[in-house]
Amino acid sequence: MRQKRLVIGLGGNAIMNPSKGQELSKELNALSGVAASIANASKKFDIVLTHGNGPQVGDELLKNLNTRLEPLPLYLLTAETQASIGSMLEANINRFAKKKFVSLITHSVVAPNDKAFEEPSKPIGPFYTKSQISKLSSRTRLSYARFKEGFRLVVPSPEPKEIVEADAVKALLGKFNIICCGGGGIPVVKEGNRLKGVNAVIDKDLTTQVIATEISADKMVLLTNVDFVYADFSDKRSAIRQIKASELKPMLEKFEEGSIRPKALAAIRFVEQTKKRAYIGHYKRLEDILAGKSGTVVLPD
């Protein structure tokens, strides 16, 4: 009889506060705060750990733009940050874990005709002037959009359809815990037997749901920097502790895009497709979330 499977989605901002910039010491300190609780959870579950890379991939893009060398395409920057963040997670968690965590470079298949490719809307990197952004967009072949504070590069954010390495994850589980799907996975489209990388950023929470469903996870936990999903974020008294997926779905439009909304959507999809429970809560309170003492629980009908 196999051990129960737990998928944990760790937000990129839980690893590093983007306002502080990319400082390795801060990333390592942040990781040490969650490593022990993830390792402790592995005593009861086979774990698949996914992670965000938003702040890190934005910094890597800037580094690539500030060189005379040809910039790497965005999908390869996702691959780079999968490896670097995965390495740090592996090294930190394995200080405490009995069954080791191993990192797996992971690709997410998207549809070539996804509407997101027609209307890039996911902002990455800092704000620029019009002349700066024009030069950058021509060099990176990325689009840009105007915001109140200035101009930013924007990229497509297509829906993940499947995880290429899902069978490998299932084969390794039981012997190891797996770190995968970093930054939503390396975005690719299928061209016959070939996988072609595309310049896009896939939502990490939606990818977490896909891999959780594909490996038949028993629980899915999405960790962020708030304790609960709130019916009204400005009123902390409106914390939602338990809610059915069918009750949460009509509330999606109220939630902030790029923050709680994709987490709520991922939780709804997981619960609907598996009839299992999903959890959303603070990355420092994983043990309390699993014990039912903190976080929002999304229930099947």
Examine the residue annotation and report whether 204 is marked as an active-site residue of this protein: yes
- Among the listed residues 11, 12, 58, 183, the single catalytic one is 12
Q: Which of 9, 52, 122, 177 is catalytic?
A: 122
Q: Which of 64, 86, 204, 276 is catalytic?
A: 204
HEC secondary structure over the chain? CCCCEEEEEECHHHHCCHHHCCCHHHHHHHHHHHHHHHHHHCCCCEEEEEECCHHHHHHHHHHHHCCCCCCCCHHHHHHHHHHHHHHHHHHHHCCCCCCCEEECCCEEECCCCCHHHCCCCEEEEEEECHHHHHHHHHHHCCEEEEECCEEEEEECCCCCCEECCHHHHHHHECCEEEECCHHHCEEEEEECCEEEECCCCCCHHHHHHHHHHHCCCCEEEEEECCCCEECCCCCHHHEECEEEHHHHHHHHHHCCCCCHHHHHHHHHHHHHHHCCEEEEEEHHHHHHHHCCCCCEEEECC
Q: What is the spatial distance between Cα 139 and Cα 262, in angstroms, rounded to a whole number?
A: 31
Query: Looking at 52, 185, 263, 281, which residue is catalytic?
Result: 263
C-alpha distances (whole Å) from 171 to each of 4, 106, 291 are 15, 14, 28
Q: Is 263 a catalytic residue?
A: yes
Known active-site residue 293: no
Q: Parallel, antiparallel, or unpaired for β 107-109 and 162-163?
A: antiparallel
Catalytic residue positions? 12-13, 122, 204, 263
